[in-house]
Structure 1
């Protein structure tokens, strides 16, 4: 996020600089481009939420945000694996019973 974006959201100049630095550090730790990554806004929102709770150190903010992002990534990966496993199981059952694959959308 840009400096002006943080100011538009009601953060003052000092807070905006703090948020930008924390976002830059977190993006670097995640090997992401700070502006062009699909989850850069989510990362910024996480940093703002922690800042709003009173954490003002950019290093601490970035560490907390990185940990949360990694946890979200692990959960998404797990959800994808679970969905693939369910689809595979449904296909196996439909072949065994002779049912159509259009039952995959049910459940």
Structure 2
């Protein structure tokens, strides 16, 4: 998972497949799909509000295991953002394992 504080965005990569299409689930939630229509990554705009997006995941073309991974990631994103300095402008990578 990567967090970009300067863009107020996060990306949860699920596989290393190439992006064929991006589905807009909500103005703050985007899902990258491969050529088979399977989710390969999820982009979240608005780090502090990430946890509130969990209810949208049912529309995101996620497998059950990916759904759990992304739900946990949204919680973690919101926790990190809540404790972050508002002036923080860095980019960080976080291992979800």
Q: Pick the TM interval, shorter chain.
A: 0.3 to 0.5
Of Structure 1 and Structure 2, the greater helix share is in: 1
Structure of higher CA gyration radius: 1
Of Structure 1 and Structure 2, the greater strand share is in: 2
Q: Which has the higher contact order (CA 8 A, sep 6+)?
A: 2
